[in-house]
Amino acid sequence: MIWTIRDREIRLEKTLLMGIVNITPDSFSDGGEFFNREKAIARAFQIESEGADILDLGAESTRPHAGPVPREEELGRILPVLRGIRKRIRIPISVDTTKPEVARLCLQEGAHIVNDVSGLKLSGPAMAETVREFRAGLILVHRRGTPQTMQLLTDYEHGVEDVLNELKVSLESALAFGIDSNQLVIDPGLGFAKTAEQNIAILSELEKFHRFERPVLLGPSRKSFIGKVTGKVVDDREFGTAAVVTYAVFKRVQILRVHNVHAMRDAVRMAEAIRETKGINYVGAFQMGEH
């Protein structure tokens, strides 16, 4: 499967890791940690060095109940970081935004991908036109409402099938606006307008998201459903995240969006090695004392 992002083609033969840099004071996990321009730039290069395949920059928190950020403020956060890395970073850059104007200016500055958590529902025709014009990659995330309202919109009559049908609407909208299917990636939207139980249900049926014949991106990193299962606070959810990442590799998810690229790269490599192995001589391994 190929993902077309501007002048590049990404071949999704292996699981890719998208590393997160939140240039925000209030994101649920690392809010404030990289709000400083220099710290955000340094973290971007560190993520690349840890083995990330894609960098995702966000300047507006999408956590539940987060307040909206005015366009000029969002641009004032993200553009200085983007300008500080664009000529020196080798991996593609994604911008996490629902504002068409922010997406356009970031694409003009060299970004390759728009990560739209509204799935074109809020960003609408203007976002679709921007993506089409730049031939950018577009990630269509499933979400109902806004960060302020989404956790009030968790009533799904048919469970996972409702999520799939709503993603289908986003996908069809993108195609209707003239975006090529090879530009599109879908994301089930873990944590967006979903209870912990609904997130787990989505994970249990991940294979269904391949029906669209587009790459699937999953963003489980440190999210509250992991905390509900493990009882761990945000900063202590790496093992829970690694479990979901490993499971997702076996479910053939093509892209994983994570905070800790260094740790999750090892989880992905091990899971892929096991998944792709056709036969290991375990008896021989034990005879060599490898136990």
> Which of the residues are catalytic?
223, 257
Contact 170, 119 (CB under 8 A): yes
Q: How far apart are CA 231 and CA 244, in angstroms?
A: 15
Here the tokens at position 253 are 């998810």
Q: Residue 136 carries which side chain, given as an amino acid letter?
A: A
**How many angstroms separate the Cα of 191 from the Cα of each of 63, 80, 144, 264?**
8, 29, 11, 19
Using only C-alpha atoms, what is the Rg of the chain?
19
Q: Which helix (H) or strand (E) holds 256?
A: strand 255-258
Block residue for tokens 């089409």: 132
